[in-house]
Structure 1
Amino acid sequence: MELIFNTRPVSDHTSNRSVKGINILNCIYHNEAISLPVAFEIVQKLQEVTDAKTGKAKFVSEESKNEMMRKMLHVCCQNRLKFSYVLTDSWFSSKENMEYIKQRVKKDFIMAVKGNRLAICADDKSQGHFVNLESIELNPDSCCKVFLKGLDFPISITKQVFKNKNQSTGILYLACSNLDITAPDINTIYQKRWKVEEFHKSLKSNLALAKSPTGIAHTQKNHIFACFFAFVKLERLRIKTKLNHFALKSKLYFNAIRASFSLLQKLALPST
């Protein structure tokens, strides 16, 4: 059982630029049977500051995404959710988050980390020096016990090597706080993070998340919560019917159209 944290940056991947939209940070609870949203935050940039590089005014959130993530994790623990791992992408791989999960929450994590992260092999800690993860010789099917700079407990690092669509080679480094599992186990558990991508796809394609008719923050939050609640309903139907969300949407539309057509036929009959 895992908690999966993810954020949706407001950007258009087709044009590689920022666009207007709602930035949502959410937490998904996943086990072998079901995926459920258990917490979410709307990132509101209301505080005006001056950009140190450009000198221009910009708006930022009063609370960082990492602070929001830790607060959401605290709420999940207060609600007594039973989980073993916290899975995140590299957005949340800060040492503060790692320390909070391992030392305060007493859970394990698997996080994507960037190749320029400074680390030192655990065996060389007393006499070596910190280098980039990319500089550490590491086979894809093996783990290396390291200390990340600023972190006072060891973690296991493994990497995945894959081909991108343009045939270039991509490398994904994963950091795991459980030193007793193997690299294949780490990769298998981290693959479950894809459930949060399926969650967002269903929200947009099946539950009209992006088609909110509202215009202010309060009503937008209500719309988002209603979409999350509808997702839970779809998950219950998925378990009961063995149909995925897209098949359920098609079935519901078909039944609604058939009921409407039947009503129209009754209305078209001459009154007696």
Structure 2
Amino acid sequence: MSPILPDSIQHDQLKSRVSLFFKQAKIGTFLHQSTIRKEKGLSALILIQFIFSLVLQGKNLYRTLESGRFPDAPEKDAVYDLLKRTTYNWRKLLSLVSAHLIETILKPLTSEDRDRVLILDDSTYDRNRSKSVELLTRVFDHTTGKYIKGFRMLTLGWSDGATFLPLAFSLLSSKKESSRLQGINPVIDKRTVGYRRRQEAIEKGTETMFTLLDTIDPRKLGVKTLLFDSWFAYPSILKRVVTNYSLHVVCMIKRSPKVHYTYEGEKYTLNQLYKMLRKKRGRAKVLASVIVGIGFNENAEEVQARIIFVRDRNRSKEWLSLLTTNLEHSEEDAIRIYGKRWAIECFFKVAKSHLRLAKEFQCRSYDSMTAHTTIVFLRYMILAMSSRESEDDRTIGNLFYLCCDEVEDLRFAEVLLIFMELLGTMLTEDEILADDQVGPFLDKFFNKLPKFLREPLLLSNAT
């Protein structure tokens, strides 16, 4: 297995970089707050730092512990005892570290006008060669179209469009006992956090998503929008997110004959709505949009939302549909914001292909899988933060802001206004149009502009 980091980075440099990240992320402090601490022997911080660094150095956990060729390696029992403790709150550790990095480093780097979003999605956690893993079940893999043994890894993450950080996750088994290949270990203490995680694993994914949302504070993270795909896009879920968490939703919706939307006082399915609407001509990417009401029973107050019908680029005669509960979003805004959901797909790819998610060692305990997944997510964070530091000039620090104070940025709308004024001057000076004809010409030109260009110009004129 090749190392994640370049060969030019020697062992001492890697150790220094990892130590710096652990201090920057305050992992030692958050380990204590998450009750992850040992009474004797090597500290939990040292053990986690050891496991954390293995993949970045291209090493295997089992071979490193068994070979005896690494004098700095801890005892095997110490490592496995750390991972399988039922009292350790690994989800809290992950949420605290992510929130700290976002609040102290990433938020100051992004403008308040930039859309920061929460992203919810699931992916397969493959344990296809296992038999005795706790709560093991069969899950459907959409990439292969086959059932595999493993879990559904439901993940909640944060993104500002440039950097993605995972916030919380849950390894979901099956709600049906008959579908599970293994049950819960009967000796687990029901008072522990490990037992609560096991109970979450056998709940519906639509319920577990709210458990994940309860672990974070959207206001501190600067987010106003939650993104997810059509799997979670049911009226009751949409209403609960908007009402209980004060978040807007942008999601894909599917054509279900059981889901109805209120339009002009009548209930319609998605297919019926599409047939009713007048479509845009030509090869327009956005075919139509409509504002509808969403409610999950007759007596509930409806939530207003905009449904946008988009041409399917893979099948030109087919269409896809997006929904946004923020009526201030234009059609282009909703599509652009939903595009940020792709960040979590890239995260899953990196975690599985490069950071050895579910492959580093074959543990059987549910706590061990939770602990190892948390460490893999922490590995992704150091890569994400390193990438941001190398690409974003604002991470230079105060020097960047001092330089920015010297030059005032021209906004896009101001550039358009300057362009229109220059166009009017040239038309007059070259005697192409008379003075009294230039104004009507520019007004006509302005009215022909797309809506997303006209609105910034109107705001600039107003100010």
Which bin holds the TM-score, normalised by the shorter protein?
A: 0.7 to 0.9
Alignment equivalent of 1:191, drawn from 335, 339, 343: 339
Q: Does 1:118 align with 2:260?
A: yes
Deviations 1:51-95 (A, max 9, x none): xxxxxx434953111111111112212783220100010111122
Alignment equivalent of 1:58, drawn from 165, 169, 179: 179
> Displacement of 1:24 after TM fit?
0.3
Alignment equivalent of 1:94, drawn from 224, 230, 234: 234
In structure 1, C-alpha distance between the alignment counterparts of 2:142 and 2:388, rounded to whole Å: 33
> Displacement of 1:142 after TM fit?
4.0
| Aligned residue type for 1:135 | Q
Indicate the structure (1 or 2) with the bigger Cα radius of gyration.
Answer: 2
| Aligned residue type for 1:93 | A
> Displacement of 1:143 after TM fit?
2.4
Structure 2: give runs of 5+ residues left out of the alignment: 1-115, 125-138, 184-200, 280-285, 393-463
Question: What is residue 71 of structure 1 aligned with on the other side?
Answer: 211
Contact 1:162–1:171, Cα closer than 8 Å, also in 2: yes
More displaced 10-residue stretch of structure 1: 96-105 or 10-19: 10-19
In structure 1, C-alpha distance between the alignment counterparts of 2:287 and 2:261, rounded to whole Å: 19
Indicate the SS of the match to 2:118: strand
Distance change >3 Å, CA 149–CA 84, structure 1 → 2: closer
Question: What is residue 321 of structure 2 aligned with on the other side?
Answer: 173
Question: What is residue 132 of structure 1 aligned with on the other side?
Answer: 269
In structure 2, C-alpha distance between the alignment counterparts of 1:239 and 1:58, rounded to whole Å: 43
Indicate the SS of the match to 2:271: helix
| Aligned residue type for 1:204 | K
Q: Does 1:36 align with 2:157?
A: no
1:76-87 equivalence runs, <5 A: 76-77=216-217, 80-87=220-227
| Aligned residue type for 1:28 | G
Distance change >3 Å, CA 205–CA 62, structure 1 → 2: closer
Indicate the SS of the match to 2:221: coil
**TM-score of the two chains, using structure 2 as the length reference:** 0.46
Distance change >3 Å, CA 15–CA 92, structure 1 → 2: closer
Contact 1:176–1:186, Cα closer than 8 Å, also in 2: yes
Alignment equivalent of 1:182, drawn from 319, 330, 346: 330
Contact 2:306–2:327, Cα closer than 8 Å, also in 1: yes
Contact 1:86–1:109, Cα closer than 8 Å, also in 2: yes
In structure 2, C-alpha distance between the alignment counterparts of 1:15 and 1:205, rounded to whole Å: 16
Contact 1:155–1:176, Cα closer than 8 Å, also in 2: yes
> Displacement of 1:154 after TM fit?
1.5
1:97-108 equivalence runs, <5 A: 97-108=237-248
In structure 2, C-alpha distance between the alignment counterparts of 1:118 and 1:46, rounded to whole Å: 27
Structure 1: give runs of 5+ residues left out of the alignment: 49-56, 244-272
Contact 1:85–1:108, Cα closer than 8 Å, also in 2: yes
Deviations 1:170-214 (A, max 9, x none): 422111111122111110100111111111111112211141313
Aligned residues: CA RMSD: 2.4
State the aligned residue count: 228
Q: Does 1:226 align with 2:375?
A: yes
Indicate the SS of the match to 1:27: strand
Q: Does 1:6 align with 2:121?
A: yes
In structure 1, C-alpha distance between the alignment counterparts of 2:371 and 2:379, rounded to whole Å: 12
Deviations 1:238-267 (A, max 9, x none): 112339xxxxxxxxxxxxxxxxxxxxxxxx
More displaced 10-residue stretch of structure 1: 108-117 or 142-151: 142-151
Question: What is residue 270 of structure 1 aligned with on the other side?
Answer: none
Structure 1 or 2: larger strand share?
A: 1
Deviations 1:86-144 (A, max 9, x none): 001011112232122211111211111112332231xx11xx3x221112134425420
> Displacement of 1:221 after TM fit?
1.5
Indicate the SS of the match to 2:227: strand
Distance change >3 Å, CA 199–CA 25, structure 1 → 2: same
Indicate the SS of the match to 1:32: coil
1:17-36 equivalence runs, <5 A: 17-36=146-165
> Displacement of 1:26 after TM fit?
0.3
In structure 1, C-alpha distance between the alignment counterparts of 2:175 and 2:248, rounded to whole Å: 34
In structure 1, C-alpha distance between the alignment counterparts of 2:367 and 2:215, rounded to whole Å: 21
In structure 2, C-alpha distance between the alignment counterparts of 1:162 and 1:94, rounded to whole Å: 22
